[in-house]
Amino acid sequence: MDQQPTPTPPAGDVSLPASRLLLVLYIASLAFAAFYAPQPLLPALRAEFGVSQAAASLLVTVTILPLSFAPMVYGLLLGSVSTRRLIIAAVSLLAASELPIVFTDSFAVILGARVAQGLLLPAAVTALMSYVAANTRGQGLQRAMSLYIGATIFGAFLGRLSAGFLATVLGWRWAFAALFVAILAGLPPLLRLKEESRAGFDRLRPSQVVQALRAPGVLRLYLVVFFVFFVFAAVFNFLPFRLHELDPGISELRIAFMYLGHLVGMLLALSSRRVVALCGGEIRAILAGLGFYLAVTPLLAVPAEVVIFTAVSLFCLGMFTVQTTAPGVINRLAPCGPGVVNGLYLSFYYAGGALGSYLPGYVYRHLGWTAFVLGLCALQAVALVLAAGLRRTGGRLSSDAAGPAC
């Protein structure tokens, strides 16, 4: 899920010391673990607090939503803050935000804590990547970024799995208590980091946004990633309710294991160049990913747990093929620097995720799971049609230049 814009370092190969890189990967994986931990617990939280399915799903929606506007707003607020201070502050507050969830008997308090986590995550993630970019160059940066993306994907799965396990064995509150302890354990080594430059949030001006969106193929590709993550978030957020519908006695751990296919994304993040080469180019890789994404989604409608598990794994393969390929294509198509291009990419991507984690729930509630799946297939078909139009811009992808800065 989870590529972020980073400053471009000067030429030459420099790598972070292994201990500091491991610390960054540890904190990043825990940030995304905290982000996604509630997902397999949604049916249990719904029953515990007597709220509706729509209200329970908000626990994920309110955390994703800030990521959609963070690139636009955070540059105005945090442009002069050092990476070290921002990392320490964001991680400290992220750990603290788990405590209200552990001790409260109010769903509103849990929802408020999740809003706070959604505001903290963009700051923590961007500061971590800015720290890596400020201390690595050349092949060292490329390797560190690949490891970072893999860590965020692994963290998302680990958060779901550990939450499901602890909720099944000890109770759902223990899942958030464990996150508090794990995040807090990363603070002492963070305090030993050296002071770095500002956090590196880019300020996006309206003229830059317009110029980027008017470039041939760019808006089309932004809409593709919007629909891709809309569908992905919808499936992952409402899957626990579907599994509980099929088997009211299903444990949180069994639900968590359904997300095992998410690890496919980690493998693709580390081998995206091979995937593109195998498909014969970036546009073909995106089209192949979207086609596969659409082809396997109807399997989610089959009322059998083993079929759903297989479908989710294949579903992730299609989604992450698009996700690992699209950013590179956008950076070459847009006539702007990487800060503007990637900031807009994140806004479209997470806006799709925020809406997808909530709106399809109305279809599910009123029309049923089959209609829910068919509706998502229709959106995937729209994304495929949009991507097919990228063939007309394919000639520009041979250029290595990203274009002049806006």
In the 3-class helix/strand/coil scheme, how is 256-323 assigned residue by residue? HHHHHHHHHHHHHHHCHHHHHHHHCCHHHHHHHHHHHHHHHHHHHHCCCHHHHHHHHHHHHHHHHHHH
CA-wise closest residue to 351 among 31, 127, 45, 61: 61
User: Residue 201's pLDDT is what?
Assistant: 56
Distance between CA 39 and CA 259 in Å, rounded?
10
Distance between CA 245 and CA 263 in Å, rounded?
25
At residue 92, does pLDDT exceed 90?
yes
114 sits in which H/E element: helix 107-135
Length of the chain: 406
Q: How many other C-beta atoms are found inside a 10 Å radius of the C-beta of residue 240? A: 29
* 345 pLDDT tier (thresholds 50, 70, 90): confident
User: Residue 324's pLDDT is what?
Assistant: 78
Which of the given ranges, 312-321, 372-381, 388-397, has the highest pLDDT on average? 372-381
Whether the CB-CB separation of 361 and 239 falls below 8 Å is answered with no
Work out the average pLDDT over 184-200.
Answer: 77
What Rg value do the Cα atoms of the chain yield, rounded?
20
Work out the average pLDDT over 213-232.
Answer: 89
Which of the given ranges, 231-235, 258-262, 326-330, has the highest pLDDT on average? 231-235
**Poorest-confidence range of 25-34, 94-103, 271-280?**
271-280
Instruction: Please report where in the chains the tokens 């959609």 appear, as a residue.
Output: 68
Work out the average pLDDT over 329-344.
Answer: 70
* 79 pLDDT tier (thresholds 50, 70, 90): low
The DSSP-derived string for 344-367 is HHHHHHHHHHHHHTTTHHHHHHHH
Distance between CA 37 and CA 207 in Å, rounded?
38
DSSP state of 159: H
At residue 6, does pLDDT exceed 80?
no
Work out the average pLDDT over 228-239.
Answer: 95
Burial grade of 232 (CB within 10 A; 0-12, 13-18, 19 or more)? buried
At residue 222, does pLDDT exceed 50?
yes
Distance between CA 240 and CA 111 in Å, rounded?
19
Whether the CB-CB separation of 15 and 136 falls below 8 Å is answered with yes
Distance between CA 162 and CA 177 in Å, rounded?
11
What share of the chain in percent tops pLDDT 90?
Answer: 48
User: Residue 9's pLDDT is what?
Assistant: 44
Answer positive or negative: Cα dihedral of 324, 325, 328, 330. negative
DSSP state of 82: B
Structural domains of the chain sorted by starting position, each given as residue range(s) with its CATH number in brackets: 18-391 (1.20.1250.20)
User: Residue 26's pLDDT is what?
Assistant: 94
User: Residue 12's pLDDT is what?
Assistant: 52
User: Residue 179's pLDDT is what?
Assistant: 96
User: Residue 337's pLDDT is what?
Assistant: 61
